[in-house]
Chain A
Amino acid sequence: MRRLRALIRKEFTHMRRDPRTLVMILIMPILQLFLLGYISNDVRNISAVVFDQDNSRASRALLDAYRAADYFSLDYVAYSEADVTQLIDSGQARAGIIIPPSYGGDLAAGRSAEVAVLIDGSDPTIANAALSAATFVGQAHATNIRFQQLAVRGPAAVTAGLPFEVRTRVLYNPDLLSSYNIVPGLIGTILLFTTMGLTANAIVRERERGTIEQLIVTPIRNWELILAKITPFILVSMVDVVLILLVGTLWFGVPIRGSVLLLLALSGLYLLPNLGLGLLISTFARTQQEAQIVILPLMLPFWMLSGFIFPIAAMPAALQVISRFIPLTYFLVIVRSIVIKGVGIEILIPQIAALSIFAVLLLGIAALRFRKTLD
């Protein structure tokens, strides 16, 4: 126990003495979040078609809200849903706002109304902007109505939930990269980087700098060394998860519908196979550079094939098979389900099982291969 404590303290000292790495670990996810999250948000005047079946004062107020927000330019008016899709298909409009006939009535009666926004997903940049704008403007307007209702009728008369909801549907590219997807995806990829990449490096560094030679002759056990190496990165990874979630909710308005604790717990589970991979890499590589040579080409397919960037359903069958062997694939499902859909643990059993199997396999192989010798 004393040995383990001494080892862990040493790892934290290394981390403290190398603030650049620490800053990178903590700043990088936020930076990426803003980078990816904002690629979308600078697009204005997206050409839109409106199909207002209600044509009431309430519906016109909603459209005014959309107009005022400057994201959409309501260029076309349609008189059927077919017209809407036709205009989007032809590329003349990038988005379609469909207001149901019952909109005004529902609002007045305190029932929850539903507004549909169709979005052309073929250009992810524009689509992202349209998606977040549609949701954001809708929510803002709904909140306004709620306040008016409260003012006019008092709290007793107001139902729970917002007076109407914007249902977005992305055509052509349904798993579109959006802040809704970026936040979960980033949690997965950042954890991949901190655990696999940095753990491998932290161990290989002992070999590269020759310090392993002095460690070998001490009574430190393999598992103590492994545990000490991964502990700081587990902690930092968890801090990263919390940071991403905070910025994701507070800044980008991604709601966390499910349990944050469950999400943190499953993030912990997801760390294990990645740590196993990092350890495994460290048993092959002699220098940090050699480790990087393995890690980078490994990260790329993880990004590409996990469903973070491209929807899995749209991939060729062979690639779909590969995606099943990537832990990130399962973790993305977990994060999206918890964050966006708010599901509980019972729905996620298959993913949890898959991650557990990966964890046992990878950690097992790594622990068997890990030797405290020079050869």
Chain B
Amino acid sequence: MDPLIVASDLHKSFGSTHAVKGVSLSVRAGEAYGLVGPDGAGKTTTMRLLVGALSPDAGTAQVGGFDLQLRTEEARAGLGYLPQRFSLYGDLTVVENLQFFAQVRGVGSADFVKRAAELFKFVGLEGFEHRRADQLSGGMKQKLGLACALVHQPKVLLLDEPTGGVDPVTRQDFWQLIIRLLTEGTAVIISTPYMDEAARCSRIGFMHTGRLLVEGTLRELTASMAGRVLELAAHPKDTVKRTALADPDVEDVLTFGDRFHLRVKEAAGPLARLPGALAEAGATVERLRSVPPALEDVFISLLASSAKGN
């Protein structure tokens, strides 16, 4: 099956800011591609290039087999986009917004009534049809945005931080919706600052300063770090951190809530040495063990090595 979205070597600069530097990716039907990265990494710019809201300085993008530069309208016909910033009309009601986008997208008025009922049920906006969009809560605004992006039943869906500023319950709802769309065969690109959300995607690309540093499934990404993460539960914090970092095989110490993740060159040495060293430093150790790496471990290690490389 051919991929529904293909980007190759996209570049985009704003003045002296090189926001996207050679991004290539492809997404197939039923696949969710998670674009993760810190603020300013270039996620939004990449999305905008993929919907043709910006034109690239170099590189090409295809959606549904159509080149976005050469056959823009055909490419867009099968594309739904939920921008990071709320981009519906606040002075129009929920149903007026949906109707407007249905009409400009060429959804027939006979189909619209059925489609609207379906979509409002799907996203959970029933009963709010006649509320003005600017009077909706943040989560409901995003749901309306999703409904408008889905009104023409696109094969490709781009969601730019759809769960930003949304409460945890609504976030779960949102993911249920996305999973349903995936099972129906939609190709989805979703950007998110949350690692737990990224971990749900079929493939994950980690973006930093305009580059895709790595890309792969959760398993592939974490494989490179297998056996190199230790979980440590100990206190007091400062002493633990200092002592752990002093070990020759410990590269980095991350705080994970009330625990620490140690990135190590290899596990055996620190596992043997650390309990003694920590006790000597006056720390109380509750637990030290090797754990499977989380996405954070992978990305922070990548950031560290890319910082070293520069």
- The segment from B3-11, B102-110, B208-216 that touches chain A is B102-110
User: Taking the complex as formed, is B81 at the interface, i.e. its CB lies under 8 A from any CB of chain A?
Assistant: yes
A217 to B100, alpha carbons, bound, how many Å?
A: 14
CB distance from B57 to the nearest CB of A (A): 10
8 A Cβ contacts from B70-103 to A: 73, 76-77, 79-81, 83, 85-92, 96, 99-101, 103
Residue of B nearest to A18 (CB): B91
8 A Cβ contacts from B196-255 to A: none
Total interface residues on B, CB under 8 Å, equals: 32
Total interface residues on A, CB under 8 Å, equals: 25
A11 to B15, alpha carbons, bound, how many Å?
A: 34
CB distance from A303 to the nearest CB of B (A): 32
For the residues of A in contact with B, the DSSP-based class is: helix
Q: Is the CB of B100 within 8 A of A219?
A: no
Q: Is the CB of A213 within 8 A of B52?
A: no
> Which of B14, B81, B92 contacts A214, CB < 8 Å?
B81
Report chain A residues within 8 Å CB of B88.
211, 214
CB distance from A213 to the nearest CB of B (A): 4
Q: Is the CB of B104 within 8 A of A218?
A: yes
A87 to B86, alpha carbons, bound, how many Å?
A: 72
CB distance from A283 to the nearest CB of B (A): 16
User: Taking the complex as formed, is B279 at the interface, i.e. its CB lies under 8 A from any CB of chain A?
Assistant: no
Report chain B residues within 8 Å CB of A212.
87
User: Taking the complex as formed, is B54 at the interface, i.e. its CB lies under 8 A from any CB of chain A?
Assistant: yes
A212 to B104, alpha carbons, bound, how many Å?
A: 14
User: Taking the complex as formed, is A57 at the interface, i.e. its CB lies under 8 A from any CB of chain B?
Assistant: no
Residue of A nearest to B148 (CB): A214
Residue of A nearest to B80 (CB): A217
Report chain A residues within 8 Å CB of B145.
214
User: Taking the complex as formed, is A5 at the interface, i.e. its CB lies under 8 A from any CB of chain B?
Assistant: yes
Given A10-B89, A13-B91, A214-B87, also A219-B55 (CB < 8 A): no
Interface code A193-227, partner B: CB below 8 Å = 1, 0 otherwise?
00000000000000001111110111110000000
Q: Which 7 A-B pairs have the closest CB atoms?
A: A6-B103, A17-B91, A214-B87, A210-B85, A213-B83, A210-B87, A216-B53
* Residue positions of A touching B, CB distance < 8 A: 2-3, 5-7, 9-10, 13-14, 17-18, 209-214, 216-220, 373-375
